[in-house]
Structure 1
Amino acid sequence: MKALTRKTTRTVGTEPWHSYAWQAQSLLLAYPDERFEQRLDLADRVAATLPGPVARPLLRFTTHAEQTATAQLATAYVATFDHRKRCCPYLTYYAHGDTRKRGTALLRLKQTYAAAGWRLGDDELPDHLAVVLEFAAADPGAGARLLIEHRAGLELLRLALSDEGSPWASVLESVSATLPALAGDEREAVMRLAADGPPEEQVGLDSYASPVFLPDPVVGGPR
């Protein structure tokens, strides 16, 4: 992605520390590759500067990751995010499934990024949570709106990871702590999605690969 200049003015609806929280969360939700230890160290140092409800779950994850071999984490990452649909990290999936409407939602996200000067790689889908968080870190106002727009999916992912006993549930708990408390209609949206699941129509996604077959995104700073 192209480098973006971090905004120095305060954005309505966000706090200055939101950018750092979202960047740290993005680093920890990326695939644990050979650079993961560096990302982990940075996220650990950032977490120590954040408010308690955001920092504590992040530090739970970093403590676990520091005590786990990177190869073991990578295996768990694939087993969790690639092989369990209910733990899908692609946010538009929760509302639209693999339908034509999801294709439109993905295009909207790409257009939002492009308007901010970002260009996604060909192997990246714009709705992967790590990518959305990275964007939010660089453009807090627009990023916060995207996260709130996909709040129901975020909460479903958090609950699914928690049910699985996944260490990444702590990272999702930290993400939720950066957002406003759930309003009544948002709670209803979460309950509806949990009850009904995403649509199953398999059309309209010719220009996007299925998330199951995508290579793991490499995130962690503008590219």
Structure 2
Amino acid sequence: MNKAVTWQAAAHLLAYPDERFWGRLPLIEQAAAPCFPGFAAAIHAMGPGELAAHYVEMFDLKRRCCLYLTYYADGDTRRRGESLAALKGRYRAAGWELMDDELPDFLPVMLEFAALDSAGAALLAEHRVGIELLRSALDGYGSPYTIVLDGVRGALPEPTAEQRAAAARLAQDGPPAESVGVYR
């Protein structure tokens, strides 16, 4: 399967499951079903209301299932702000301008960038640790979104030993925290 098709499909599958999501789903199933085996069946069994509730529970209420990939390495620190600014600069250098309501580390944005721009594959590979942590957390909750992350991972090079070690360390310790300005 073409990596660009996989990444574009995954970008749509990781979007909030509103009416547009369900409207695009038949085309995505036709184009990329082999990349995400069983995902369509699982979400059709859930139905729109249950899937929407599951999406919110996973991605909005569970810190371990964050779709904002710089969170895994940077946490809610000033360093994350620097990482977001650097990402915006990379998009801008490639001729992309994000909408005001999008953060540059939102996985669907990064996947769409990878699908449409040759610089995107390297960007995803650089955030492999976050992708691994997200996939592991989703699997731990038994989420069908694990299947989507498996498809994304399958279109990337294997993680390096350093990335595996970083993922294990962050899985154990969590993202960094900052205590500047906090009184104890």
| Structure 2 residue identity aligned to 1:44 | E
User: Counterparts of 2:133 and 2:65 in 1: how far apart (Å)?
Assistant: 8
Whole-Å separation in 1 of the counterparts to 2:107 and 2:145:
12
Matched, 1:161 2:146: no
Assess if the C-alpha contact under 8 Å between 1:81 and 1:87 holds in 2.
Answer: yes
Q: Pick from 166, 170, 173: which aligns with 1:196?
A: 173
SS at match of 2:119: helix
CA contact (8 A) 1:47 1:59 kept: no
1:106 alignment partner, one of 81, 84, 103: 84
1:124 aligns with 2:102: yes
Q: 1:115 to 1:61 in 2, by over 3 A?
A: same
Letter of the 1:194 counterpart: A
Q: Which residue of 2 aligns with 1:137?
A: 115
Measured in 2, the distance between the counterparts of 1:146 and 1:138 equals 12
SS in 2 for 1:69: helix
Corresponding residue of 1:13: none
Counterpart residue type for residue 166 of structure 1: S
Partner amino acid for 1:121? Answer: M
Structure 1 residue 62 corresponds to structure 2 residue 53 = no
Q: Indicate if the aligned counterparts of 1:36 and 1:70 stay in contact, CA closer than 8 A.
A: no
Higher RCO structure, 1 or 2 (CA under 8 Å, sep 6+): 1
Greater fraction helix = 2
**Partner of residue 41, structure 1:** 26
> Which whole-Å deviations, capped at 9, do the CAs of 1:98-135 have from their partners, x for residues lacking one?
11110011011111111222221221111011110011
Cα contact 1:44–1:59 (8 A) shared by 2: no
Give the TM-score normalised by structure 1: 0.77
Whether contact under 8 Å (1:28, 1:39) holds in the other structure is no
Distance 1:31 1:90 in 2: 14
2:163 to 186, 189, 192: 186
Deviation at 1:40, TM superposition (A): 1.3
- CA displacement at 1:67 relative to structure 2: 2.7
User: Distance between the aligned counterparts of 1:167 and 1:174, measured in 2?
Assistant: 12
Q: Count the aligned residue pairs.
A: 180
SS in 2 for 1:126: coil
Instruction: After TM superposition, give the deviation of residue 39 of structure 1 in Å.
Output: 2.1
State how far apart, in whole Å, the 2-side matches of 1:136 and 1:70 are.
Answer: 28
After superposition, the C-alpha distances for 1:135-158 in whole angstroms (9 at most, x for unaligned) are: 10101x311111111111110000
1:176 to 134, 145, 153: 153
Q: Which residue of 2 aligns with 1:78?
A: 56
Alignment partners' CA distance in 2, 1:130 and 1:59: 19
Runs of 4+ in 1 over 2 A off after TM superposition: none
Distance 1:39 1:127 in 2: 23
Amino acid at match of 2:10: Q
- Provide the residue aligned with 1:148 in structure 2: 125
RMSD after superposition = 1.5
Q: Which runs of no fewer than 5 residues in structure 2 stay unpaired? A: none
